[in-house]
Chain A
C-alpha cells in the first residue's frame, strides 16, 4: 500500500506533492515520515525506469522534485539525519578540453539520492588535479563524463598516474557519455563504461554490495 504522497510523486504531480508536504509540515507532522514516503516514491520511479516504463526525462524530473521536497523538509528535521549518505564516496569530473556537464550533473543527482557522497570537480578539469583529489579523498569510485574524443588521452593520463602512484586498484573507475564505447574503456584503462546514468548507479551499488559481502566473509 502506498501513500497519496508517494503516488503523486511517482506520477510526477509536482504541485500536488509540494502542496501536500507544506500542509503536513504546517500540521507538525513528523518530517521523517514525509521523507520516507518521498524516498519510497523515488525508489518506485527507479523501478519503473528499470522496467523501461520511465525514461531519462522522468528521472530528471523526479530528481528535481526530490530536491524541492528536501528544501521543504530539511528546516524541520532538526538533529535528525536522513538515512543513507554512507554508501560510498565518488569523484566525478569532466576532464580537460571538455565543458559539457549535463550527463555528469544528472549522474551526481542520482548518486546523491542513492546515498553516495559525491565530490563533483566540475568541467575542464586538469588531470593532475584529479590525481591530487583521489589521493586526498580516497574515493571508492572515480567517474569521468565525456562528450569529446579529445578527452580520451587526458583520462588515460589520470589512470596511468594513479597506477604509478600505486593507488589505481583502490578504486573503480567509470567512464560515460555519448562518445564513449567499450573501446574507450579499454583504451583509457577504466573498469566500466556506459551511456546510461542508471546503469552507472547500478554498477556502483553492485560494486559496494559485493565489497560488503567480501568484507563479511573476511576478505578486504
Chain B
C-alpha cells in the first residue's frame, strides 16, 4: 500500500482546488452530541459546561485516530442565542438526557423585516431580538460572550495548533434566507415570500452585505479561510425555481463571489434535496466554494454536472451511521471514493452531523476505509 505524503491542510486544500490529493480528505461533522453519548456523559452537563463538551470532542478525535477536516466547539444555547436563534437546552427547557434543539416559531414579526433592512441582523439581535428569544439580561449576554470567546480560544489551540487540523473555518454564519425562515417559521416565511416579497428582499440585501463584511473581518482576525454557511430551506424540494432565482441565488452568488475575491472559501452546507438547483452552481467561479450535501441530493448526478468545477463534500447518512451495518458503510464509502474522487474535488464526510447514536464500529470503518481504500488501490 502507498504511503500518505500530504498534511491534512495540503490534502483539504488540494481537494477544494480540484487537484489530486494523496488520498481523499476526511472531514465528518462531529459535534459534541456523539462524544457525549459515547462517553456516557449527560447532555445537560455538557450544556452547562461546554468546555467539558470540547474536552470530550478532543478525546473522541484522538481515540478514533483523528481525521483531516472539520472540527468545532460544542454547539450550546449561548451560541444559538447570540446568533439570534431560539434554542431549547437539556437541563433547562428539555429533560437532562435530551439533546439540545433549535426551537422554531414565529418569533420574528412582519414589522421586523424593515428593522433588519435598516440596521442589519446583528444590531437587531443585540438591541432587541435577543430579549425576545431568551430571558437573558445584558449581564448574561456579556457573560455568554466571554465564555464563548474562551471556548473559541481553547478550540483554536487544540485543533489548529496542537492537532494541525486541515480546515481553517474562520467563521460560521447561517445563510440569511435560512435565518429568516427559522425565525419567522417556515409557513409564515413562505407567505412573506409570496405576499410581501419587497420586505424580504430588503432584509436579505442588508443581511447579505453584513454577512460578507463580518465573515471577511472574522477571517482576517483569526487567519481562517473557510466559512461554514448552512442552508436547508431554499431548495427545489420546497420552492419553485422562480422563488430560488429571486430570493436565494442572487444573494448566494454575491456571498460566494465576494468572499472568494477575499480568499475565503464558503462551505455551503446544503441539507435536503437540491437536485433541481445543481446546474445554477456552474455559474460560480471554478473552485470558489464547497458544496456539502446530506444524502437527499443525488451527489453522483451533482458530480456529473459540476465535475472539475466545484468541490463536493459527501454524504454518509445519519441512518447508515446509526442503524446500517459496517459492510453497508464500507461499501458506500468505497462507492463515494470511486465515483467522486477521481480528479480531486471530493471531501469524504457525513451527511449533516454524525448522529449521537452512531454505532462506534460504523464510524471506525468510515474512517478506516477513507484513509486506506484509495492508497491500497495505487
- Given known contacts A61-B194, A149-B355, A149-B357, is B319 in contact with A56 (CB within 8 Å)? no
Q: How far is the CA of A181 from the CA of B27 in the complex (A)?
A: 23
Indicate if the CB atoms of A60 and B323 lie closer than 8 Å. Answer: no
Seen from chain A, the residues whose Cβ lies within 8 Å of a Cβ on chain B are 12, 14, 54-58, 60-61, 64, 97-100, 102, 106, 124, 148-150, 152-153, 178-181, 183-184, 187, 195
Indicate if the CB atoms of B98 and A178 lie closer than 8 Å. Answer: no
Q: Mark B286-329, 1 if CB is under 8 A from A, else 0.
A: 00000000111000000000000000000001111111100010
Q: Is B55 an interface residue (CB 8 A)?
A: no
Q: Is B330 an interface residue (CB 8 A)?
A: no
| One of A54, A60, A61, A97 near B99 (C-beta < 8 A) | A97
Q: Mark B319-361, 1 if CB is under 8 A from A, else 0.
A: 1111110001000000000000000000000000001111000
Closest to A63 in B: B187
- The interface residues of chain A lying within 8 Å CB-to-CB of B318 are 149, 179
Indicate if the CB atoms of B319 and A178 lie closer than 8 Å. Answer: no
Indicate if the CB atoms of A150 and B194 lie closer than 8 Å. Answer: no
* B232-285 residues at the A interface, CB under 8 angstroms: 236-240, 243, 271-273
Indicate if the CB atoms of B322 and A149 lie closer than 8 Å. Answer: yes
| One of B237, B295, B296, B322 near A152 (C-beta < 8 A) | B322
Nearest 10 pairs between A and B by C-beta? A149-B355, A149-B322, A149-B318, A56-B238, A187-B323, A181-B319, A57-B239, A55-B240, A184-B319, A57-B190
Question: How many residues of chain B have a CB within 8 Å of chain A?
Answer: 40
Seen from chain B, the residues whose Cβ lies within 8 Å of a Cβ on chain A are 88, 94, 98-99, 101, 103-104, 185-187, 190-191, 193-195, 236-240, 243, 271-273, 294-296, 317-324, 328, 355-358
Q: How far is the CA of A142 from the CA of B49 in the complex (A)?
A: 39
Indicate if the CB atoms of B194 and A12 lie closer than 8 Å. Answer: yes
- The interface residues of chain B lying within 8 Å CB-to-CB of A181 are 295, 317, 319-320
- The interface residues of chain B lying within 8 Å CB-to-CB of A152 are 319, 322-323, 357
- Given known contacts A99-B88, A178-B296, A183-B319, is B357 in contact with A153 (CB within 8 Å)? yes
Indicate if the CB atoms of A183 and B320 lie closer than 8 Å. Answer: yes
| A/B interface sample: 16 pairs, CB < 8 A | A14-B195, A57-B190, A61-B190, A97-B98, A97-B99, A99-B88, A99-B101, A100-B101, A106-B187, A148-B99, A148-B101, A152-B323, A180-B319, A181-B319, A183-B320, A187-B323
Q: How far is the CA of A100 from the CA of B99 in the complex (A)?
A: 12
Known contacts A55-B237, A102-B104; 20 further A-B pairs (Cβ under 8 A)? A12-B194, A14-B195, A57-B240, A60-B187, A61-B194, A97-B99, A98-B101, A99-B101, A102-B186, A148-B99, A148-B355, A149-B318, A149-B323, A150-B356, A150-B357, A152-B322, A152-B323, A179-B319, A181-B295, A195-B296
